[in-house]
Structure 1
Amino acid sequence: MTRTRVRPPSRVAGPEATLLTVERGMQVLRAFRCERSAVSNAELVRRTGLSKATVSRLTSTFIQLGFLRHVAGGREFELGTGPLSIGHSFIEASPLVRMANPFLQALADKLNVSVALAIPNGLEMLYICYRTSDRIATLRLGVGSLLPLGTTSIGRAWLWALAPAEQKRLISELKRAAGGRGAALEQSIRESFAELDANGTCAVLGGYQRDAYGVATPLRVGRDGTLMGLSCGNAEVAPNVAQARKRIGPELKKAAVQLEALFAETDGLP
């Protein structure tokens, strides 16, 4: 009697496989940072948690599509022109960005700081608007910058305004990602929450760059009340954070109220 060998079904097939591939591809692209430093396959594996084979396959595909390119004389990668065109289209098409930029520029000039509006992106905050005073030259940030959610003022202000269940879940993720520093990170986050409870803003020094401080507050934007973070910051030698908080805090809270009114009839998300 001849037996017919039955091939076991694929673990992931059809549309589900396509969605999984797209999701993994987006993880790789998000692993690139705004500082434009070249990234190796090994570093992409570390940042994404994907297998070496998956990362190699995706980077090869993205090179063919123009989303990545090899750094001259090396095997590392940097973003190509593909993501640039998408980002430019996003900025040009966003009424929120067009409305926010003049307002944020005026605030930056008034306080002599950089001003940012950000939304969450995993365990980071993504700058969708960024304006700076002409006298600021030490912060290496801009639209598209990704800052840590757990260690920066803008991330903690956004986290503070979340519903309790979602806040608890994200703090657990942040602690897990921090490893042995998880308990200290949570304590520092709780201290910022206490500051927000008392003043409506929080200030953090060195959350992403040495000698750089940020003062932040949350705001809800548009008809659907999209939660975002608004921050002012600067980098100085031995900055006086208490003085910066006192100087910036009241203006920042006033700006958040004005921005919420400005965006009241928008769709919220950029």
Structure 2
Amino acid sequence: MEPKGKRETSVTALARGLSILQCFDHPGAQLTVSEIARRVGLSQPTAWRLCSTLIEKGFLVKAPGGAALRVGAPAMTLGYAAIQGQDLPALARPYMDQLTAEARVTVSLSLCNGTEMLAVDQTIGSFVVPGQPIGWRASLASSSGGLAVLGILPPDQRRLAIEKIAAQNPAAWPRRKARIDRAAAYYADHDYIIVTDMFDGQYAATAIALIEGSGQNRRYWGLACSGLSTTWNEEALKPVGERLKRIRDLLQPAAAAMSVPAG
């Protein structure tokens, strides 16, 4: 029988165990129990009990030397099985749907292609910018997703992209440079951007960037939420930006493990 009152929808121990597994966020990661406890905000005895259960089930194993832990085969198998046959848009779509349903914002996923962003997927909220369907292209400096990508590009790639954008439209460059600089500073402080002057101030957006693949073989994506600026001012968009950050933290490990298509 269900207990009276509000039904409990989460299991604390399970949530903590999953948080521990999420600590191993790059290939070959090895962490001591003390490091894990510090990352997830638990006491060391609690962290050790949870790690012991994960070790028992094979999801964690002791690293050579026994002082640290690393991810075991069952956890890697689950991750590998989850991403096989899927691409980044397929992984992102459920989170886009959920964010649109809850916040009523339009969520757009776009791929960096040279100095442009190519719109790949979109979920429609209470407002959508006219003339920007899937397949629409925009300069990195003219889209919120592109501005987010510029904020994380390696310095050499960023400098080359900015030089090309400046050369494409010298008359518009001072305005574009100011927007790029503002977005880069905001990204550095918040891990997402907010832009409130798109299309002559008619709409505002917040965005984060995702990196698909690893090493030299990478692709850069922008995930953005937008709406009418009369409703979505900077303060209203800040909680949405925080939501985007959490989505990025969930998607980025799987995105980094993906193989980027040739060409």
TM-score by length of 1: 0.58
SS in 1 for 2:142: coil
Q: 2:100 aligns with which of 84, 108, 114?
A: 108
Equivalent residues of 1:222, 1:260 under 8 A apart: no
SS in 2 for 1:142: coil
Q: How does 1:122-137 map to 2 (within 5 A)?
A: 122-133=114-125, 135-136=126-127
Q: How does 1:121-270 map to 2 (within 5 A)?
A: 121-133=113-125, 135-136=126-127, 139-208=130-199, 211-222=202-213, 225-236=218-229, 238-268=230-260
SS in 2 for 1:186: helix
For the aligned residue pairs, the C-alpha RMSD in angstroms reads 2.5
The sequence identity of aligned pairs, in percent, is: 21
Match of 2:70 in 1: none
Give distance in 2, aligned partners of 1:116 and 1:137. Answer: 10
- Which consecutive residues of structure 2, in runs of 5 or more, have no partner in the other structure? 1-84
CA, structure 1 residues 103+132, in 2 after alignment: closer, same or farther (shift >3 Å)?
same
The runs of 4+ residues in structure 1 deviating greater than 6 Å are none
Once the two structures are TM-superposed, the CA of residue 137 in structure 1 deviates from its matched residue by 5.3
TM-score by length of 2: 0.59
SS in 2 for 1:150: helix
Equivalent residues of 1:115, 1:131 under 8 A apart: yes
Equivalent residues of 2:89, 2:109 under 8 A apart: no
| Paired positions, count | 176
Give distance in 1, aligned partners of 2:254 and 2:173. Answer: 38
- Which consecutive residues of structure 1, in runs of 5 or more, have no partner in the other structure? 1-92
